[in-house]
């Protein structure tokens, strides 16, 4: 039990006073902690990192995510020069034959407009990853605010917020997303932001629920009563004593949510209401490649594998973080 508490606390102890002692908590020492050497006297974050670093599957996932993130960020520096522009139609290639099979110059072949598939996959990672991170950020912000109100003030705010969450969850998810995107004014269509906001807004109920139940259990601790008895205000109780100990499940949940946000983005783009050309996105590439399935299945295969490996990596990393922080979650 105490181990679990430590881990919970370690998740978000940045500059927060230790709720039990009132002393400033040891700052998290980050990934370079020499966990083994310093014996049992490790920081809480260090403990979690140590456990994560022994999980090979999670490390492979983390490495893969770092590779594609770096590739996506640095894409404009090297990809167009080596493999060709991901957006502009390559007239030279189209003239000699688009839909090329994989070769040294084009490791994943070219699409129907002569554009290099590898280049498009790397640029597609930009769209997918930014939607994944930003959408989950939006969900977490809304979910944390509403979830903390709901968990802290039981009674009518709780009932109201949870009923609204029920309605959101009762609505078929994809249908709701398509509907929201269909009313986006023309001038904003096809970009990343409408998709981010849609997925972000639809994701808050689950985050709010997870956070609410986490707060409900943390609230029962004696140190919260102690702080209250010492005259701490609601805001102080919430931000200083409850929140830091209740966010670990959110860390785990949002890591996994990034993967599902990427899946949703791909589905929306596949259906033609998410990210639209010219911005390359994996989902749209699959729907564009579908008609060339017989002659060039790679146009569908590669973007699909990109989605699969990225989403799988976020799931495995989320599993690893869950074990490292020792959070008990329902599947």
Partner 1 sequence: MFQYIFRRLVQFVPVFFGVTLLLFFVTTILPGDPVALRAGEKKLPPAVYQAMRHQYGLDKPWYQQYADYLGALAKGDLGTSIASGRQVTDIFKDVYPYTVKLAGGAIALEIIFGIAVGIVAAVKRYSIWDTLATLTTSILVALPVFWLGIMLQYFFGIWLKNATGGAFYLPISGVSGVFPTWVYLILPSITLASVSTAYAARVMRSQLLEVSGQDYVRTAHAKGLSVSRVLWSHEMKNALIPVVTFIGLDLGAMLSGAILTESVFNIPGLGWTIYHSIRAYDYPVLFGCVTLMLFAVLFINLIVDVSYAFLDPRIRYGSAAGE
User: Least separation, in Å, of the C-beta of 190 and partner 1?
Assistant: 14
* Phi, psi of 39, rounded to the nearest 5 degrees: 65, -150
Residue among 5 and 201 whose Cβ is closer to partner 1: 201
Shortest Cβ distance from residue 31 to partner 1 (Å)?
A: 25
- Smallest gap, in angstroms, from Cβ of residue 238 to partner 1? 28
Pick the binder of partner 1 from 67, 141, 163, 239 (CB under 8 A).
163
Of 37, 41, 182, 230, the one binding partner 1 (CB under 8 A) is 182
Per the structure block, which two tokens stand in for 161? 């917020």
What part of residues 185-244 is at the interface with partner 1 (CB under 8 A)?
185-186
Q: Would you say 179 or 193 has its CB closer to partner 1?
A: 179
State the minimum distance, in angstroms, from the CB of residue 169 to partner 1.
Answer: 9
Per-residue interface string for the shown chain with partner 1, residues 255-274, x marking contact by CB under 8 A: ----x---x--xx--xxxx-
Could you tell me which stretch among 64-72, 135-143, 182-190, 213-221 binds partner 1 (CB under 8 A)? 182-190
**The only residue of 4, 166, 225, 234 in contact with partner 1, by rule CB under 8 A:** 166
Q: Say whether residue 156 binds partner 1 (CB under 8 A).
A: no
Mark the segment that binds partner 1 (CB under 8 A) among 17-25, 63-71, 246-254, 306-314. 306-314
Identified binder of partner 1 from the candidate list 149, 162, 164, 226, rule CB under 8 A: 164
Distance CA 197, CA 207 (A): 15
Q: How far is the CB of 170 from partner 1 (least distance, A)?
A: 5
In the shown chain, the binding pattern of residues 277 to 296 toward partner 1, with x for contact by CB under 8 A and - for none, equals ------x--x---x--xx--
Give least dist CB 115 to partner 1, A.
Answer: 20
For 100-134, letters b (16+ CB in 10 Å) and e give: beeeeebebbbbbbbbbbbbbbbbbbbbbbbbbbb
Residues 6+ apart with CB under 8 A from 239: none
**Nearest distance from C-beta of residue 71 to partner 1, angstroms:** 20
Stretch that binds partner 1, among 64-72, 84-92, 242-250, 311-319 (CB under 8 A): 311-319
- Give the residues lining the site for partner 1 (CB under 8 A): 163-164, 166-168, 170-172, 174-176, 178-180, 182-186, 259, 263, 266-267, 270-273, 283, 286, 290, 293-294, 297, 300-301, 303-304, 307-308, 311-312, 315-316, 331
């Amino acid at each position: 039990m105490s181990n679990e508490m430590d881990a919970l606390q370690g998740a978000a102890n940045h500059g927060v006073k230790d709720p039990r002692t009132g002393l400033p908590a040891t700052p998290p020492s980050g990934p370079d902690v020499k966990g083994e050497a310093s014996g049992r006297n490790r920081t809480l974050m260090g403990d979690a990192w140590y456990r994560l670093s022994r999980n090979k599957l999670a490390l492979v996932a983390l490495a893969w995510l770092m590779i594609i993130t770096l590739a996506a960020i640095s894409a404009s520096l090297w990809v167009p020069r080596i493999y060709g522009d991901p957006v502009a139609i390559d007239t030279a290639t189209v003239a000699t034959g688009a839909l090329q099979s994989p070769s040294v110059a084009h490791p994943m072949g070219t699409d129907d407009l002569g554009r290099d598939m590898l280049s498009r996959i790397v640029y597609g990672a930009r769209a997918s990853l930014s939607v994944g991170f930003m959408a989950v950020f939006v969900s977490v912000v809304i979910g944390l605010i509403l979830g903390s109100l709901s968990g802290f003030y039981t009674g009518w705010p709780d009932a109201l917020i949870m009923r609204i969450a029920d309605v959101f969850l009762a609505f078929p998810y994809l249908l709701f997303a398509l509907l929201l995107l269909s009313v986006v004014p023309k001038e904003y269509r096809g970009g990343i932001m409408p998709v981010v906001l849609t997925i972000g807004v639809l994701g808050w109920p689950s985050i709010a629920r997870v956070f609410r139940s986490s707060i409900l259990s943390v609230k029962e601790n004696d140190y919260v009563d102690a702080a209250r008895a010492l005259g701490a205000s609601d805001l102080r109780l919430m931000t200083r004593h409850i929140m830091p100990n209740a966010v670990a499940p959110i860390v785990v949940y949002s890591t996994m949510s990034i993967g599902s946000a990427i899946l949703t983005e791909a589905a929306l783009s596949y259906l033609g209401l998410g990210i639209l050309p010219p911005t390359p996105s994996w989902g749209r590439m699959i729907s564009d490649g579908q008609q060339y399935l017989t002659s060039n299945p790679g146009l569908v295969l590669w973007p699909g594998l990109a989605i699969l490996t990225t989403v799988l990596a976020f799931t495995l990393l989320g599993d690893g973080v869950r074990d490292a922080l020792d959070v008990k979650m329902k599947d």
